[in-house]
């Protein structure tokens, strides 16, 4: 694959374009060799190897991934998910664990933790109860009660047993999964957000009490994210319908219109929709594009935005949602 960027070739003594190829590589960590698949960059003129910083970084990351896997070290993605999962910053988490205040941040940036520290992180990542006990035992290590309370709410939500069978959001999820075979976790999050917003626009009430948060990839219902996150980019398994699901005609109309008008797009496309909508933008404020956040998108903001959408597009009933979806797709 040709990359239009240029790098300096020592053989040609000039800036050149380069090609990249996936190749087997071997690296050494702590005196042991590990085999992994990396990327090789070569000058497009003379075919000599050239140094590309971002490719070198990616190769090192690939080596570290193999090292982590073979030595049962917590995966970097799981480690980086801990602060988001428990609504706590890197520095407070490090202090909560009784480590130096910058220790966890070094691991977050890619340093490999010791086996002892990795085991601790793996346990709190997998078991909210262990994190909960740690939060209570070491809350004195935190600099503010606000930090404690915010993390307390997050872990309590995870520890709460699966929502009672009558929970509205669970019923809505069940309905969506009975009607569509290719809903990814990201698409499900966006579907729930649009169901909540458009139902309010037409019927002046919210379907479920759960709050969504302004995460990097758009509005996210925290508990639902952790319930389905293992599917990654794969579709969630379709479920069988059952008679216990009872909805009003208005609810069904909104669900079906969201499925037909919005869920025909991928989760990534729907992410781009939400990134130009007021609720997510206003809640993120001046945060950078990649900054993690647990800021709640207020229901008031959602309600006002979708009422304005209804009025702008002269929507008479939920089937008119298609007009909004089509225009959003054309805009992005």
Whole-number pLDDT of residue 322: 94
DSSP 176-233: HHHH-S---HHHHHHHHHHHHHHHHHHHSS-S----EEEETTEEE-HHHHHHHGGGTT
**C-alpha triplet 45, 49, 53: angle, nearest 5°:** 110
The share of the chain scoring above pLDDT 70, in percent, equals 95
Domain ranges of the chain: 2-70, 76-159, 168-331
Report d(CA 115, CA 152) in Å as an integer. 27
Report d(CA 173, CA 188) in Å as an integer. 8
pLDDT in tens, 21-39: 999 999 988 888 889 899 9
Q: Residue 327 is encoded by which pair of tokens?
A: 């225009």
Q: How many CB atoms lie within 10 A of CB 290?
A: 6
Helix (H, G, I), strand (E, B) or coil at 286: coil
Residue closest to 82 by CA, chosen among 157, 153, 151: 151
What class has domain 2-70?
Answer: alpha beta
Q: How far is CA 159 from CA 83, 131, 154, 156, 202, in A?
A: 16, 10, 9, 5, 34
Residue closest to 74 by CA, chosen among 125, 33, 134: 125
Place of tokens 């262990």: 130
Whole-number pLDDT of residue 1: 39
> Which residues of the chain register pLDDT less than 50?
1-3, 162-165, 244
Whole-number pLDDT of residue 156: 86
Whole-number pLDDT of residue 241: 66
pLDDT in tens, 269-305: 999 999 999 999 999 999 888 888 889 999 999 999 9
pTM for the whole structure: 0.54
Beta pairing class for 2-9 and 32-43: unpaired
206: burial class by Cβ within 10 Å (0-12, 13-18, 19+)? Answer: middle
Whole-number pLDDT of residue 3: 42
């Amino acid at each position: 694959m040709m990359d239009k960027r240029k790098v300096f070739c020592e053989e040609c003594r000039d800036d050149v374009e380069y090609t990249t190829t996936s190749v087997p590589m071997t690296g050494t960590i702590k005196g042991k060799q590990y085999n992994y698949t990396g990327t090789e960059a070569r000058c497009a003129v003379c075919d000599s190897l050239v140094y590309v910083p971002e490719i070198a970084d990616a190769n090192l990351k690939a080596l570290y991934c193999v090292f982590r896997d073979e030595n049962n070290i917590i995966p970097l993605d799981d480690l980086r998910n801990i602060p988001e999962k428990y609504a706590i910053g890197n520095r407070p988490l490090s202090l909560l664990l009784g480590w130096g205040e910058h220790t966890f941040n070094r691991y977050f940036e890619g340093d490999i933790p010791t086996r002892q520290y990795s085991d601790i992180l793996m346990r709190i990542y997998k078991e909210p109860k262990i994190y909960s006990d740690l939060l209570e035992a070491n809350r004195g290590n935190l600099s503010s009660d606000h930090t404690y309370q915010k993390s307390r709410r997050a872990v309590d939500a995870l520890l709460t047993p699966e929502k009672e069978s009558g929970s509205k959001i669970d019923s809505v999820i069940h309905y969506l999964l009975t009607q569509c075979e290719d809903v990814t976790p990201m698409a499900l999050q966006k579907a729930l957000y649009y169901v909540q917003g458009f139902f309010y626009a037409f019927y002046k009430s919210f379907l479920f009490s759960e709050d969504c948060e302004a995460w990097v990839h758009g509005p996210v219902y925290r508990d639902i994210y952790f319930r389905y996150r293992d599917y990654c980019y794969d579709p969630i398994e379709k479920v069988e319908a059952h008679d216990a699901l009872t909805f009003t005609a208005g609810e069904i109309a909104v669900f079906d219109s969201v499925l037909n008008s919005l869920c025909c797009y991928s989760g990534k496309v729907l992410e781009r929709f939400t990134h130009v909508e007021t609720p997510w933008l206003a809640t993120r404020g001046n945060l950078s594009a990649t900054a993690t956040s647990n800021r709640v998108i207020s229901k008031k903001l959602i309600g006002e935005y979708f009422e304005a959408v209804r009025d702008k597009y002269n929507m008479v009933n939920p089937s008119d949602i298609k007009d909004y979806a089509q225009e959003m797709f054309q805009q992005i």
